[in-house]
Structure 1
Amino acid sequence: MRRETKTKLKRWGVLTAKIVLALLVLLAAGYFIFRGMILEKVIAKIKEKTQTEYDATFSVKEARFRGLAGIDLTDVALVPNNADSLFKVSSIKADVNIMKLLVGSVQLEDLELRDGFIQLVKKDSIKNFDAFIKNKKDAAEVEVVTDNKKDYARKTYRILSRLLNLVPTDMKLTNLSLRINDNGKKAEVNLQELQLQDEQLETSIRVKTDTFAQRWRIKGMADPRDRKADLKFFNLDTGAIRVPYLDERYNLKAGFDSIRVNLSNLEMDGGELHVDGFASIAGLRINHKKIASKDVYINKARFDYNFLFGPDFIRIDSTSTGTLDKLKFHPFVEYSIAQDTTYALQIDIPKMKAQDFIESLPKGLFSHFEGMVAEGSFDYHLDFKYNKNKPRDIVLNSTLNKDGLKILKYGEADLAKINGNFTYRAIENGRPQRPISVGSGPNYTPLSQITPLLRHAVLTSEDPSFFSHKGFISEAFKQSIIKNIKTKKFARGGSTISMQLVKNVFLTREKTLSRKLEEILLVYVLENQRISSKERMLEVYFNIIEWGPNVYGITEAARFYFQKHPSELNLKECLFLASIIPSPKRFMWQFDDQGELRTAYSRHQERLTRLMFQRGLLHTEDTLYQIKKLLISGPARSYIKVRDEVELVKPDPEMDEFDF
């Protein structure tokens, strides 16, 4: 009985194997018989979609199968209607993984491309690639619909897997170019040859623009199936690699000696995607008027990254390490939609020598610190969190722990000069203005001779906690960040008097990243190294800031507006002077055609008065016998457009500034 059962099972097994084999043969036969027809239909569908959705023509001169899984295409082109060709390749030969193809996945095994180009052309406002860029409005609408269904980990993994599957294990590209023509600004990157074989990649690239020509090379290991790579990008010619197109298009000059990119891990684990590796750059040079007034140079920098994508967050893990010469830091960056939309940033700088920190600052970005010498060490921690739906709950904590930190020698910015006599020159549109003598002279007024009413009004308006803070006000920074995020621009700065003083005395008014970063560091040194007293800082501030057109210092301001000495100013005059500090050259717009303060500015001065009373800076007797009307009696009167003026001097149309 058992023998009969075994015999039957054996027969069924043989029969099943025959049926499966027959099906495979039929599938193979069908594949070979109908694959040409399927290929034609696929190409026809691409042509139709390109024409109807993108108003462009996709063409293939010849398409045929080669062997079991090879496809050969000749003269492939994509040409937008009434525009320059976007893409052309004379020959494409590709081999796909047949087993992956049977389960619906496309994975390239071999690829050979020869003689082709991608060109991006802009003539006036017309671009030949416009139709292929998604409409922003449509994209936003899709975002809203799919917002609750995001899974960053799986979506990113799917996209990266598809891209890596399209990178063949063996590849040869010959004479392929990327051309850019932006209204006559041209650049071309010609890939003369790229070869990937046995996981080793090597290229030969020529770059040509209207201003330079270079030869580049990319060399290293690339394994798309194991998802690993280690590539180095360098220049075959002498000198740094120059970045094409950016110099002419954005006036950004950038170059570097070499770049290395490493991908060591890309895997899903427990519903989270891990992407690990490092990137480094050597000899980076950048020049742009928004960054600094001179070249910025970074000798060497490296970022060992650990990216983590979850179902509802994207994160740079704190195990990542950034290195800038001798400076090391650990960043934590997270964007999350788990409950609310939140942003988080943490930066940790482990304990390091202060001198190593100074020497690691990018050259040209901190010019005033070059030559500075320090002793001791420090560590630093920044913690920032922002909830889009609860902006008032913003977290901003900055902690610096010092160990024997001391400045032994100042760099270009000699902060100690603030304690003695010096000459100050404001910079206006890049040009030094007339010299202002600080510490002596007829136009210099010591703090003791400036009415306390003006000191209280200015501090209330500009920096109420000046005598207690160390150069920065955390709450002001928080409010600045909230407003800047809401308006999507730098609409509010949060500067303290210390910051304004450093900006005026030691820096220029240029709006660059360099100037702002130097301002922050110089304020910290000035305040925390006890270089000058708060009283001396406030005295210098009053005597150098701009109070009007070509009006510098409180002595000139008191004469210009009221023909008085700073000690003689009354409360209303002090409130007015405090209110014009943010925009002193626009003071005349506070008045109407009757020479009276406009309602909004009167209310602002009333708010300042109330604040001064609440803080105990004003008493009832301070407001007794004060005139109700603000009278501008000095030369400033000529700037105010008063109708039917009789007793006052008529404005001089040729007078554009008050000359002292």
Structure 2
Amino acid sequence: MRISPSTKRILIGVAGTFAVLLLLAFGLFQWNRQKLLDAALRAVKARVERKYPVALVLGPARFTDLNTVEIKGMSVVPTASPADTLLTARRLQASLSVRSLFAGRPVFSDLQIQHARLTAHSTATGNNYGFLLNKKKAVEAPRDLRQGRNYGLLLNQVLEAGFDNVPGQADFQDFVVRYDGPRHQALLAMPRLKIEDGSISGRLTASIDSVVNELGVSGHVEAGDYALTARVFGVGGSVQLPYVPRRFGALVSFDTVLVSMTGKEFSDDDTGGKLTVRGSLAARNFSLYQPRLGAEDIVVHRGELDFVATLGRATVALESGSRVLLNQLVFHPEIAVRLKPQLAVRLRIDSDAAPTNAFFNSLPEGMFDVVAGTQGTGTLAYHLQADVDLARVDSLHLDSSLRPSKDFRITRFGAEDLNKLNGDFAYTAYNDKGDSLRTFPVGPSNPDFTHYDDVAGYLKSAIMTAEDPRFLTHHGFMEKAFVNAAIQDIKEKRFARGGSTLSMQLVKNVFLNRQKTVGRKAEEMLIVWLIENTHLVSKQRMFEVYLNIIEWGPSKYRWPSGKHGVYGVKEAALFYYGKRPGELNLPESLYLASIIPKPKYYRYSFNSYGNLRTSTRYFFKLIADIMATKGLISESDRDNLTYGVNLNGPARSYIVTARDTTRTVAPADSSQFESINLIDLLNTTKSAEATPAEPAAPGGAPAEAPKQN
């Protein structure tokens, strides 16, 4: 159909008019939209400044397309002192729902922040970020320094501040977080961190107290439910934890950590509130080095913790329902710690029964090197229950046991064959620094080896009485001795006493180093348990080996044959008395027993006139009285005991026999001779013995040790 010129002109006019109207409407829309945007941003600024004591400064804002808003610059400056800028950003971009904007309720999403800097400062007088944690300060009870900090309230504030400010959609580009405090400094540089529908991904370089890590992060967060799942892993290497080296002198690292929080519950109470948090923590190739724990890195290839944790005022607890996975071992811990007014710890740990092979394969590397690789049949389960309150240290309680099944049996030993104690083997003596001093065979191949029956009964009885009175009847441990040793260690804040039985001393000398670490003690106890509970070595053989290897004098002494030191009972008898081990009388035996704890200081048992000091004479009387009460020596032996010895061997030349007023060595304290069993364990009446006393044998010898089953 042909359109007439007049009609065409009319249509063109209508179209032009419509176009002009559209342009006018679009211009009006744009003007009004920008006006509404400016108003919305002023409302956001006012809302933020009402909620927090800050000044929020926003740069020019404009629409870059239909629903994308760009803001040129932003800063957040606390109004309280110190007024240091907390947050700056060069450019912000977000999607804005036009409908919500015209409805007066603007909804922003898909936030992008470029070149952002979050800088936190802390000084002795204040900080520029505390307002984020104090918005609910009204629920906090007045702080009583004597009762300690409320860790539940503090963590709850941190969690709420963190989750409440997590955006649903965000893309941080070139985001740097810096913290400067009086004791710690931290710098987190994130090239990109993205949050999309709760999913988190990104990489960052973290430098905290000079510890630098390249990290990758991925996970998911549900802010409304206080739920989080996050994976943190090293990029190109392991991750080393900061703060721990400075605070605990330890190095802690891992390849990957998985953190999960499934929720929290906070309840108000008279102490200011209590927080319960549920979640899990898992690590791969977890490594820990701390000199007091062990000489090497302690490594766990797979570790997991499912926790129900409760925090309150000066209290932290791991509740029932928590679970620990250590490689293939499963433990169920319950731990309660009170920090104020005095530290108190209560714990209970039970493990599931594990196959023997799984048990030994799961032991941490670097802590159980001797038994690593041990194989067997049956199962093993562990139980530990302990309570300690530093306000009442003497009330310390400990119950620890490894429980085998009826079919438990060792079929193959690990790095060391524990059965070597039954044969001729080479023994190396070390000093406290770990240096080897001398190696010699223990057995008939050594002409200085002395059989059990060739040692004076007086000496055997004196050593057992002083060092381990229940050696013939216990299974490697005396719990009371260990507890009392731990009590003294806690009081003196050092390894003051070891709580070791003869079995433990033997294992330490034959299989382990001399370092005083928690790891060495743990392995020592496990080896003793294996030897004693599998009846691998008879008590008599154990004591025989012990008598032939222990150090009994100065390491610098050189024998005519060229060997150094005084090791074993034969060398001790020759060095001190010029006798054979079977010829020793009661005073000579008591003296040798008295110096076992510190043999290198034997000469300080004598005063400047060559007589025994009061502390050593006290030891003689105490041990002789106990030996007589137990029937190990006769009443006549005790009544006729002389408190002195004649040193007729080379040791004589090391004793000062003329009064010397220039000596600066302090007199020996009697505690140096107090084996823990003397004060803590020995009963002085037969009726108090848990088991019948061993009848005396000729020459004061104890009865025959039980035979190996």
Do they superpose with TM above 0.5? yes
Cα deviation, 1:7-30, whole Å, max 9, x if unaligned, reads xxxxxxxxxxxxxxxxxxxxx9xx
Report the Cα distance in structure 1 between the residues aligned to 2:301 and 2:640, rounded to whole angstroms.
66
Question: Which position in structure 2 is the counterpart of 1:572?
Answer: 587
Cα deviation, 1:495-550, whole Å, max 9, x if unaligned, reads 11101100111111133443222111101001001011101101100110111111
Report the Cα distance in structure 2 between the residues aligned to 1:485 and 1:636, rounded to whole angstroms.
37
| Structural mapping, 1:470-485, within 5 Å | 470-485=475-490
Question: Which position in structure 2 is the counterpart of 1:435?
Answer: 439
**8 Å CA contact 2:628, 2:638 repeated in 1:** no
Q: 2:637 aligns with which of 610, 622, 635?
A: 622
Question: Which position in structure 1 is the counterpart of 2:500?
Answer: 495
**8 Å CA contact 1:187, 1:244 repeated in 2:** no
Q: 1:539 aligns with which of 518, 538, 544?
A: 544
| Structural mapping, 1:262-277, within 5 Å | 262-268=260-266, 273-277=275-279
Cα deviation, 1:606-650, whole Å, max 9, x if unaligned, reads 2222222232322222246554433333222233333369xxxxx
Q: 2:597 aligns with which of 572, 577, 582?
A: 582
Opposite residue 407 of structure 1, the aligned amino acid is I
1:266 is paired with a residue whose SS is: strand
| Structural mapping, 1:84-483, within 5 Å | 91=89, 114=115, 116=117, 145-147=144-146, 157-158=156-157, 160-162=159-161, 164-165=163-164, 172=172, 174-176=174-176, 190-206=189-205, 215-237=214-236, 239-242=237-240, 254-268=252-266, 273-287=275-289, 289-309=291-311, 314-335=316-337, 342-403=344-405, 404-428=407-431, 429-440=433-444, 441-483=446-488
Are 2:594 and 1:596 aligned?
no
Opposite residue 255 of structure 2, the aligned amino acid is D
Identify if the C-alpha distance between structure 1 residues 168 and 478 changes in structure 2 by more than 3 Å, giving closer, same or farther: farther
Opposite residue 463 of structure 1, the aligned amino acid is D
Report the Cα distance in structure 1 between the residues aligned to 2:143 and 2:572, rounded to whole angstroms.
55
Cα deviation, 1:381-427, whole Å, max 9, x if unaligned, reads 22212344444443322344322111001111211111111121112
Structure 2: gaps (5+ residues): 1-38, 62-70, 94-109, 128-140, 555-564, 661-709
Report the Cα distance in structure 2 between the residues aligned to 1:159 and 1:249, rounded to whole angstroms.
22
Structure 1: gaps (5+ residues): 1-27, 44-61, 81-85, 96-108, 121-127, 134-141, 646-660
Report the Cα distance in structure 2 between the residues aligned to 1:63 and 1:89, rounded to whole angstroms.
10
Report the Cα distance in structure 2 between the residues aligned to 1:74 and 1:179, rounded to whole angstroms.
16
Q: 1:279, CA displacement in angstroms? A: 0.5
Report the Cα distance in structure 2 between the residues aligned to 1:392 and 1:250, rounded to whole angstroms.
26
Opposite residue 408 of structure 1, the aligned amino acid is T
1:547 is paired with a residue whose SS is: coil
1:444 is paired with a residue whose SS is: coil
**8 Å CA contact 1:76, 1:91 repeated in 2:** no
Q: 1:345, CA displacement in angstroms? A: 0.8
Are 2:479 and 1:486 aligned?
no
Identify if the C-alpha distance between structure 1 residues 213 and 483 changes in structure 2 by more than 3 Å, giving closer, same or farther: closer
Report the Cα distance in structure 2 between the residues aligned to 1:472 and 1:382, rounded to whole angstroms.
15
Report the Cα distance in structure 1 between the residues aligned to 2:227 and 2:89, rounded to whole angstroms.
29
**8 Å CA contact 2:380, 2:403 repeated in 1:** yes
2:224 is paired with a residue whose SS is: coil
Cα deviation, 1:553-572, whole Å, max 9, x if unaligned, reads 01111111121111222222
Report the Cα distance in structure 2 between the residues aligned to 1:593 and 1:156, rounded to whole angstroms.
64
Q: 1:244, CA displacement in angstroms? A: 6.8
**8 Å CA contact 2:609, 2:657 repeated in 1:** yes
Report the Cα distance in structure 1 between the residues aligned to 2:209 and 2:275, rounded to whole angstroms.
43
Identify if the C-alpha distance between structure 1 residues 240 and 342 changes in structure 2 by more than 3 Å, giving closer, same or farther: closer
Q: 1:243, CA displacement in angstroms? A: 5.0
Identify if the C-alpha distance between structure 1 residues 557 and 112 changes in structure 2 by more than 3 Å, giving closer, same or farther: farther
**8 Å CA contact 1:92, 1:111 repeated in 2:** no
Opposite residue 397 of structure 2, the aligned amino acid is V
Report the Cα distance in structure 1 between the residues aligned to 2:346 and 2:510, rounded to whole angstroms.
35
Residue range with higher mean Cα deviation, 629-638 or 371-380? 629-638
Report the Cα distance in structure 2 between the residues aligned to 1:489 and 1:391, rounded to whole angstroms.
15
Q: 1:163, CA displacement in angstroms? A: 5.1
Identify if the C-alpha distance between structure 1 residues 534 and 337 changes in structure 2 by more than 3 Å, giving closer, same or farther: same
1:611 is paired with a residue whose SS is: helix
Identify if the C-alpha distance between structure 1 residues 343 and 498 changes in structure 2 by more than 3 Å, giving closer, same or farther: same
Larger Rg: 2
Report the Cα distance in structure 1 between the residues aligned to 2:387 and 2:149, rounded to whole angstroms.
22
Identify if the C-alpha distance between structure 1 residues 452 and 148 changes in structure 2 by more than 3 Å, giving closer, same or farther: same
Higher percent of residues as strand: 1
**8 Å CA contact 2:53, 2:79 repeated in 1:** no
**8 Å CA contact 1:201, 1:221 repeated in 2:** yes
1:548 is paired with a residue whose SS is: coil
Report the Cα distance in structure 2 between the residues aligned to 1:348 and 1:341, rounded to whole angstroms.
23
Opposite residue 176 of structure 1, the aligned amino acid is V
Identify if the C-alpha distance between structure 1 residues 113 and 617 changes in structure 2 by more than 3 Å, giving closer, same or farther: farther
Report the Cα distance in structure 2 between the residues aligned to 1:545 and 1:553, rounded to whole angstroms.
5
Question: Which position in structure 1 is the counterpart of 2:3?
Answer: none
Report the Cα distance in structure 1 between the residues aligned to 2:242 and 2:149, rounded to whole angstroms.
37
Report the Cα distance in structure 1 between the residues aligned to 2:640 and 2:381, rounded to whole angstroms.
56
- Report the TM-score when normalising by structure 1: 0.73
Q: 1:262, CA displacement in angstroms? A: 0.4
Residue range with higher mean Cα deviation, 433-442 or 547-556? 433-442
Aligned residues: 562
**8 Å CA contact 1:77, 1:87 repeated in 2:** no
| Structural mapping, 1:34-53, within 5 Å | none
Report the Cα distance in structure 1 between the residues aligned to 2:339 and 2:215, rounded to whole angstroms.
42
Identify if the C-alpha distance between structure 1 residues 343 and 644 changes in structure 2 by more than 3 Å, giving closer, same or farther: closer
1:608 is paired with a residue whose SS is: helix
Report the Cα distance in structure 2 between the residues aligned to 1:203 and 1:639, rounded to whole angstroms.
71
Question: Which position in structure 1 is the counterpart of 2:535?
Answer: 530
- Report the TM-score when normalising by structure 2: 0.68
Are 2:57 and 1:64 aligned?
yes
**8 Å CA contact 1:87, 1:116 repeated in 2:** no
Report the Cα distance in structure 1 between the residues aligned to 2:577 and 2:178, rounded to whole angstroms.
67
1:551 is paired with a residue whose SS is: coil
* Identity in percent: 30
Opposite residue 586 of structure 1, the aligned amino acid is Y
Report the Cα distance in structure 2 between the residues aligned to 1:113 and 1:589, rounded to whole angstroms.
75
Report the Cα distance in structure 2 between the residues aligned to 1:147 and 1:213, rounded to whole angstroms.
37
Identify if the C-alpha distance between structure 1 residues 320 and 443 changes in structure 2 by more than 3 Å, giving closer, same or farther: same
Report the Cα distance in structure 1 between the residues aligned to 2:185 and 2:534, rounded to whole angstroms.
52
Report the Cα distance in structure 2 between the residues aligned to 1:182 and 1:161, rounded to whole angstroms.
26
2:459 is paired with a residue whose SS is: helix
Question: Which position in structure 2 is the counterpart of 1:611?
Answer: 626
Cα deviation, 1:135-160, whole Å, max 9, x if unaligned, reads xxxxxxx9994546987655654554
**8 Å CA contact 1:180, 1:186 repeated in 2:** yes
**8 Å CA contact 1:558, 1:569 repeated in 2:** yes
Opposite residue 443 of structure 1, the aligned amino acid is D
2:610 is paired with a residue whose SS is: coil
Residue range with higher mean Cα deviation, 563-572 or 315-324? 563-572
